């Protein structure tokens, strides 16, 4: 069966420090991978998605970047965190890339607090 | 769906009351829609999904949703809520790219609070 791992679960970082959140998927190959951010009162905002190694689509301009160095690994990064980067970050995967015939499966999330 | 919207931000009900949470989508060709739930301290779980066929979709825990194409709606319903239904509910759908891969987009979520 497929599983998704996301770490760390919680993170407190000072303003201006770098960030690296990692997500890995097991039990499937060539998945679509997603990073979402859940901010209070704003629902789930899609930040990045990837259909394959090295292929990243950015949804909103921001202080964050994403990379996919391996098929089942998705990394969210920042060189210098801002207070506004605080939030709950969720990694997700799905098998379908174009036709929308599957749902997305979510990791446990990372609660990031920038102080 | 190219966009998904939820207009109820916070709903408060008493136990045994009936529930209906609104979800509207903007048309983008094929319509594939979902409802997810996030219980306090837990990860997002799929409640139900609509891909095609019967517009009335049954999900887990007694939830159902009806796809009404003429109204661009996919409202979530439950005849009698329980205190354990307290959670945040998200409507979602596939947004299809014309020359790129597709992606799943979410509404802003509805917080449901049930009074015991």
Q: Which of A3, A32, A44, A88 to mutate to test the interface with B (most CBs of B within 10 A)?
A: A44
> Over the Cα atoms of chain B, what is R_g?
14
Residue of B51, B65, B62 whose CA lies nearest to B20: B65
Cα(A66)–Cα(A74) distance, integer angstroms: 7
Instruction: Name which of A74-78, B83-87, B96-100, B109-113 the model is least confident about.
Output: B96-100
The shortest C-alpha distance from B15 to chain A (Å) reads: 24
State pLDDT tens for residues A73-103. 999 999 999 999 999 999 999 886 666 667 8
State pLDDT tens for residues A17-76. 999 999 999 998 889 999 999 877 677 888 998 989 999 988 877 899 999 999 999 999
Burial of A29 (0-12, 13-18, 19+ CB in 10 A): exposed
Q: How far is CA B31 from each of CA A100, B39, B46, rounded to the nearest angstrom?
A: 8, 26, 17
The dihedrals phi and psi of A84, each to the nearest 5 degrees, come to: -70, -5
> Does residue A97 contact residue A104 with C-beta atoms inside 8 Å?
no
* Residues B50-56: contacts with CB under 8 Å, at least 24 apart: B50/B74, B51/A100, B51/A101
Chain A hits for B102, CB-CB cut-off 8 Å, are 96-100
Is residue A104 classed as helix, strand or coil in its secondary structure?
coil
pLDDT at B34: 93
Question: Which residue has 């993170």 as its token pair?
Answer: A11
Q: Does A108 touch chain B (CB under 8 A)?
A: yes
Cα(A20)–Cα(A52) distance, integer angstroms: 20
Chain B hits for A51, CB-CB cut-off 8 Å, are 101
Instruction: Name which of A98, A103, A106 is nearest B43 (Cβ-Cβ).
Output: A106
For chain A, positions 64-103, list CB contacts with chain B under 8 A: 90, 92, 94, 96-101, 103
pLDDT at A76: 96
State pLDDT tens for residues B35-65. 999 998 888 899 999 988 899 999 999 999 9
- 3-state secondary structure labels for all residues of chain B: CCEEECCCCEEEEECCCCEEECCEEECCCCCCEEEEEECCCCCCEEEEEECCCCCEEECHHHCEEEEEHHHCEEEEEECCCCHHHCEEEEEEEEECCCCCCCEEEECCCEEEEEEC
Whether residue A57 and residue B100 make contact (CB cut-off 8 A), yes or no, is yes
């Amino acid at each position: 069966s497929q599983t998704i791992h996301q770490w760390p679960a919680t993170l407190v970082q000072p303003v201006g420090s770098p960030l690296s959140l990692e997500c890995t998927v097991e039990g499937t190959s060539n998945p679509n991978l997603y990073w979402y951010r859940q901010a209070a009162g704003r629902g789930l905002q899609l930040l990045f998605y990837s259909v394959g190694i090295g292929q990243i689509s950015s949804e909103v301009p921001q202080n964050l970047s994403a990379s996919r160095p391996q098929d089942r690994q998705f990394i969210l990064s920042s060189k210098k965190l801002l207070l506004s980067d605080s939030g709950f970050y969720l990694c997700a995967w799905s098998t379908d890339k174009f036709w929308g015939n599957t749902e997305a499966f979510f990791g446990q999330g990372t609660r990031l607090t920038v102080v | 769906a190219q966009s998904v919207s939820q207009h109820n931000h916070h709903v408060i009900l008493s136990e045994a009351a009936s529930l209906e949470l609104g979800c509207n989508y903007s048309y983008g060709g094929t319509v594939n829609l979902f409802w997810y739930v996030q219980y306090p301290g837990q990860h997002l779980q799929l409640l139900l999904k609509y891909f095609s066929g019967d517009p009335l979709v049954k999900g887990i825990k007694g939830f159902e949703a009806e796809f009404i194409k003429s109204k661009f709606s996919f409202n979530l319903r439950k005849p009698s809520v329980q205190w354990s239904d307290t959670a945040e509910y998200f409507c979602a759908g596939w947004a299809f790219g014309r020359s790129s891969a597709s992606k799943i987009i979410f509404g802003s979520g509805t917080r449901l609070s049930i009074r015991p």
